[in-house]
Structure 1
Amino acid sequence: MTLYNTFVISILLYGRKTWTTYARQEKKLNTFHLKSIHRFLGITWQDKVSKSEDLSRAGLPNMRTLLRQRRLHWLGHVHRMEDGHIPKDILYGELTSGGRTNGRPQLWFKNVCKRDMRALCIDVKSWKDLAADCTI
């Protein structure tokens, strides 16, 4: 599984820590993840192995957990940056002018990170203290 982690996961999730992913995208990534684990472990559909058993055999978390870990790690890294760096300016910046398009608003990185923090029972208001201590 070290090869799978090193090559497949790193290529699949390259740059993904900065993207806002929708549930549909995460589901597609998780499907690929589970199918790849099946191939690496030599499991066929006739073996009737559950998804959670696949992941426990491989010793890997599901794709949603991997995405959350990477996003929150990046969020902590950006928070610890010095002022004036472009990623930090974009994260904490506000639009002064411009309009929004019609339709459903797109997800923002901040909103996805807040959703991840709530899912992991991290207080949304005190995440900056955890990030300063390199906890997230």
Structure 2
Amino acid sequence: MVRLTEIDNRLAKAYRAFIKLHRRVWCNKHLKKSTKISVSRAIVLSTLLYGSESWVIYRHHLRLLERFHQCCLHSILNIHWTGYMTSVSVLDQEGVSSIEAMLMRMQLRWAGHISRMEDHHLPKIVLYGELATGCHMRRDLKRTYKDSLKLYLRLGRIDY
């Protein structure tokens, strides 16, 4: 399970990257919106989602990440709170996918990469391994990484 502190750390780093580009990129009236979105994708989103291939994401994590993503998009596109636009319409307007879709795509790509590895590689051993000795604590994870992958495969209508 990814702890909230990891999410907070990623959000803080992405926010710092976003702020550093504020005057030079986001407020620059000579840059196209598509260029600004591309810069955001390349710098801010890659900073935010670094290492997310192995995260176990819960709803409250997604809400935090989506809220940050929407705030960034509103700032880049100069959409004020008085100009009511739904989150979906902002994403559709600029052709940007949601954080949940990005996470799903990244995690499924990583799982495919692991499944194609040879059997003696450590990531494959960990993913397909079982607990040989010991026991789970009562307050163990509610959801495991495998559960997340199975959910994503089911949502994508992919047989496993």
Give the deviation of 1:106 after TM superposition. 3.3
Q: Find the residue that maps to 2:111 and give its secondary structure.
A: helix
- Tell me the amino acid that sits aligned with residue 113 of structure 2: H
Q: Secondary structure at the match of 1:72?
A: helix
The counterpart of 2:89, out of the listed 28, 53, 78, is 53
Residue of structure 2 equivalent to 1:12: 48
Instruction: Give the distance between the partners of 1:119 and 1:35, measured in 2 at CA.
Output: 27
Task: Extract structure 1 runs of 4+ deviating beyond 6 A.
Answer: none
Note the 1:1-136 alignment, pairs <5 A: 1-103=37-139, 105-123=141-159, 125=160
CA distance in 2 between partners of 1:104 and 1:75 (Å): 23
User: Percent identity of the aligned residues?
Assistant: 32
Q: What are the superposed Cα offsets for residues 16-61 of structure 1, whole Å, 9 maximum, x if unpaired?
A: 1111111110111111111111111111111111111110122111
1:96 aligned counterpart, secondary structure: coil
- Hey, what does 1:132 align to over in structure 2? none
Give 5+ residue unaligned stretches, structure 1.
126-136
Unaligned runs of 5+ in 2: 1-36
TM normalised by structure 2 equals 0.74
Question: Matched residue pairs, number?
Answer: 124
Question: Structure 1 length as normaliser, TM-score?
Answer: 0.86
Once the two structures are TM-superposed, the CA of residue 104 in structure 1 deviates from its matched residue by 5.6
Structure 1 residue 79, shift from structure 2 partner = 0.6
